[in-house]
Structure 1
Amino acid sequence: MFSTGQLIFAVAFIIVFVTVLIFVYRKDFVVHKKYYKGTYRILIAFLAFIAVLFAIKLLTKDNS
């Protein structure tokens, strides 16, 4: 399906991408703690909204 070169490129890209992400996140960690307090509540509200939509879908599903 994929050639050897494509697989090598994909693995190298993933390793470099994840390494850069970790480096940048650690660099900005202090700034995130200062300016983005309480954002977990938004995440919880978003997940609850998705759960409600899923529940509505299941409850209104036609069982025929």
Structure 2
Amino acid sequence: MFTTGQLIFAIFFFIAFVMVIFFSYRKDKRLHARHYSGSIKILIGFILFLVILFVLKSWVKS
């Protein structure tokens, strides 16, 4: 399926990618807290909207 070289490359790429994302997030943590402070409300509203759509779909289909 995959050669040994491809698997080793994928593992190293994944580790490097996760490290870059982690350090980038740590660097911008204060900036994100200031600019995106109300984003959890938007996420909860979006999830609630999806749940309501699912319930309505189930209710109308029955």
* More helix by percentage: 2
TM range (shorter): 0.7 to 0.9
> How many residues align structurally?
62
Report the residue type matching 2:61 in the other structure: K
TM score, norm. by length of structure 2: 0.84
| SS state at 2:32 partner | helix
TM score, norm. by length of structure 1: 0.82
For structure 2, which runs of at least 5 residues remain unmatched after alignment?
none
The CA distance in 1 between the partners of 2:40 and 2:46, in whole Å, is 10
Find the counterpart in structure 1 of residue 5 from structure 2. Answer: 5
Deviations 1:22-53 (A, max 9, x none): 00000000001111111100000111111112
Q: After superposition, where does 1:43-58 map in structure 2 within 5 Å?
A: 43-58=43-58
Find the counterpart in structure 1 of residue 24 from structure 2. Answer: 24
Give every structure 1 segment of 4 or more consecutive aligned residues whose post-TM-superposition deviation is greater than 3 Å.
Answer: none
For structure 1, which runs of at least 5 residues remain unmatched after alignment?
none
Amino-acid identity (%):
50
